[in-house]
Amino acid sequence: MKNNPKYPGCWYCDNILDYRHQVGLLHLGFPRCFVLMKSNADFFWCKDFEAWTANVAEVNWLDPSDPGTPEEQQQVLTRLWNFAIEAEQMEEAIYMEEHDEDF
């Protein structure tokens, strides 16, 4: 476990048994939220944060009685976007490293 994680409380989620091609991002800090992306292809090809929040991300604040301020919500969504981009890059780097002899 990391002593100083870069993205505390951020998780990349999937359930390929029941919801193939859907992914989610979970933020367990305040304000808590779950962002559903019904098409991982739409997410993969999404050009920028604005297109992602407008067209791909379905944001569900998990504490309806206290979803945070608009500024706090924007910070969380920005953190999840950055987390997802870095996670995809890391996943690709690991794949390339493990399959280096294939290329």
Domain residue limits, the chain: 10-102
The pLDDT value recorded for residue 101 is: 67
For CA atoms 65, 66, 70, 73, give the dihedral sign. Answer: negative
> Three-state DSSP class for 57?
strand
What local confidence, expressed as pLDDT, does residue 44 receive? Answer: 87
Q: Please give the C-alpha separations between residue 99 and each of 42, 45, 87, 96, in angstroms, as whole numbers.
A: 26, 23, 18, 5
70, two tokens = 């608009």
Q: Coil, strand or helix: which one is 10?
A: strand
Separation CA 79–CA 74 (nearest Å) = 8
Output the pLDDT for position 35.
Answer: 98
- pLDDT tens digits, one per residue of 12-56: 999 999 999 999 999 999 999 999 999 999 998 998 999 999 999
* Percent of the chain topping pLDDT 70: 95
